[in-house]
Amino acid sequence: MKTIKIALLCTPVVVALGCASYPDQPTTQKIAETMVSGAYPGMPAALVKRSVQDRSQQICSKTGETTLSQQETAEVAQAARTSMKYPASGKLMGDWKVGAKLSYDGGGGRIVGGKVEKRKENGASCSNCHLLDPREVNAGNVGPSLAGYGAQRGNSEAVVKYTYEKVYNAWAYFPCSNMPRMGHNGHLTPEQISHVVAYLVDPQSPVNKK
C-alpha cells in the first residue's frame, strides 16, 4: 500500500513536469506548420504553397469551443467571393458528359513514388463525398446527396451561377465548410467546373433521371 500511495503522490508531479515541457500554442502551431511545409521536399512550388494557410484558413482553423465572430464569417465569405474566376467563354454550364467523367475521376495532385503524378488534368472526385446518379449503389456520403439536383432546382441562370460558385469556392456561401475550394486552390480550371455544373443541372444528365 505504501508503494501505491507514493506512486500516486508522484504522478501529479510527473504530469506537471510533462505539461510544462511543451511550448505555448503559437509556438506549437508554428512548429507544426514548418513540419507540414517541409514534408514534401522537391515538390512543385504551387503545391508547397498550399501547405501555408491563407487568411481564411487561419480563421477557419479555430478549435475547441471557439466560434467564428460575425466579422470573421463575413471576412471569409467576402474573400471567397473575391476569389471567383469564370470561364473565358463566359459559359458557366458546359458539357454534362465531360462533367460526368470529371465527377468520378479521383486523380490529380497525388504524390506517387515521391513525385506528383503527371496528368493532363485533375479530376473533380465528386463521387467520393456525394451520391450523384440516383441509380448508384455505392456512393460517398460525407456530403449531401446530389441526386436530382437539377430536377429539384431547375437550370435557371441564377441556379447555374450559384452551382458554379459553390464548386469554385463553397466558402462564399458556407464559410469554413468541408467542401474543397476546387477552383480557388487551382485543382480544377473554370472550364472544368462548368462541365461539372452541367452534370449537376442539365436535364439530360443521369443525375436528373429517375
- pLDDT tens figures, 103-132: 999 888 777 777 777 878 899 999 999 999
Cβ 91 vs Cβ 194: under 8 Å = yes
Sequence-separated (6 or more) residues with CB below 8 Å from residue 99: 124, 195, 196, 197, 198, 199, 200, 205
33-50 pLDDT, tens digit each: 778 767 767 777 767 777
Q: Rounded mean pLDDT of 52-78?
A: 88
166-181 pLDDT, tens digit each: 999 999 999 999 999 9
174-203 pLDDT, tens digit each: 999 999 999 999 999 999 999 999 999 999
Give the CATH class of 54-60+68-208.
mainly alpha
Q: Is the pLDDT of residue 1 over 60?
A: no
CA gap 200, 75 in Å, rounded: 29
